[in-house]
Amino acid sequence: MSTITGKSALITGGGSGIGLGCAIRLVQDGAHVTICGRTEDKLVAAVDVIAAQAADGATVRHIVADVTVEDEIAAANAFAAEVTGGLDILVANADGSMHMGALADADAEAIRATIDVNLTGTILSVKHAIAPMKAAGGGSVIAMSSGAGGFPHRWLWAYGASKAGIDMFCRSAADELGVDGIRVNSVQPGIVDDELMAFITAGGPLLDHYIENMPLGRVGTVEDIAEIVRFLAGSESSWITGVNIPIDGGHHLRQGADYGKLFG
């Protein structure tokens, strides 16, 4: 029996990419996982994939929710808690980048949309996890930040600023919620080979720049990120809170990626 067997978990943005990988990893160790996202067809397909890899007794469900709409993410947290009467794990993974480019040419609405889904969406997800986590006697929040939030990536500054906000928020939330037995940490993935990043990992000058500035010299996998999320979700990490962990092959030790290379 693993340390998360029988625990309840909500994963936002759980229908694809890193969110889907995290859901698979948690059900493999016996958790009851709820995934949410904005597109029901994607969630339904993901549930089938996740269920096929679930340990005996583990369950998976879905609910349509937009993390930027408070009533919807509140409902998703409550739905996830129905299985056990509380919520033990939140993986605040939903994100997006609606702006890329020079500051002088920035579109205000694209900036706002990027900050809204990444930072505001994470804050609202955690806000509505507090009550069900208290009901469970405590819990673990893992927020999905990015290497772009830890050090500059040229032309990806709107996304990076929103992710840096997540890291700061997690430290503040960890300080406030520790008294309730709620741990809050973030992970900062580097470039990961999933469907969302395929336009980079397929090859080209931007991928070359990533690899040149990565001591371990390879892109990450969804499983690389899911493993650290699993560690932070369970009692193996019970004395860890308020940290922002880079999972990036050492990229943070060198130079951030230059997204200007996408445009020649």
Report the SS3 class of residue 154: strand
Residue 26: closest CA among 38, 14, 42:
14
Q: Considering the domain boundaries, does residue 264 fall inside one?
A: no
Give helix 17-28 / helix 222-233 axis angle, nearest 10°: 50
Rg, Å, the chain Cα set: 18
Q: Considering the domain boundaries, does residue 2 fall inside one?
A: no
Residue 3: closest CA among 33, 31, 22:
31
Beta strands across the sheet bearing 8-12: 59-64, 32-37, 8-12, 89-92, 139-144, 182-189, 244-247
Q: Considering the domain boundaries, does residue 3 fall inside one?
A: no
Backbone conformation region of residue 213, classed left if phi is above 0, alpha if psi is from -120 to 50, else beta: alpha
Question: Angle 97-101-104 (CA atoms, 0-180°, nearest 5)?
Answer: 125
Q: Which residue in the block uniquely carries the two structure tokens 């899911």?
A: 226
Q: Are 23 and 46 in contact (CB under 8 A)?
A: yes
Q: Considering the domain boundaries, does residue 170 fall inside one?
A: yes
Predicted TM-score (pTM) of the model is 0.98
Could you say which of 79, 151, 157, 159 is catalytic?
Answer: 159
φ and ψ at 29, to 5 degrees? -100, 15
Residues 6+ positions from 47 with CB-CB distance below 8 Å = 35, 60, 61, 62
CATH number of the domain enclosing 252:
3.40.50.720
pLDDT in tens, the chain (264 residues): 899 999 999 999 999 999 999 999 999 999 999 999 999 999 999 999 999 999 999 999 999 999 999 999 999 999 999 999 999 999 999 999 999 999 999 999 999 999 999 999 999 999 999 999 999 999 999 999 999 999 999 999 999 999 999 999 999 999 999 999 999 999 999 999 999 899 999 999 999 999 999 999 999 999 999 999 999 999 999 999 999 999 999 999 999 999 999 987
Please tell me the total count of domains within the chain: 1
Q: Considering the domain boundaries, does residue 93 fall inside one?
A: yes
Q: Is 210 a catalytic residue?
A: no
CA distance 229 to 23: 10
Could you list the residue range(s) of the whole structural domain that residue 105 is in?
8-259
Q: Are 145 and 163 in contact (CB under 8 A)?
A: yes
Residues 6+ positions from 196 with CB-CB distance below 8 Å = 16, 17
- Tokens (6 digits) for 241: 């809170």
- Tokens (6 digits) for 115: 């900050």
CA distance 20 to 37: 11
- Tokens (6 digits) for 255: 């130079």
Q: What share of the chain is helix, strand, coil (3-state, %, to 5)?
A: 50, 15, 35
Q: Considering the domain boundaries, does residue 34 fall inside one?
A: yes
Q: Considering the domain boundaries, does residue 227 fall inside one?
A: yes
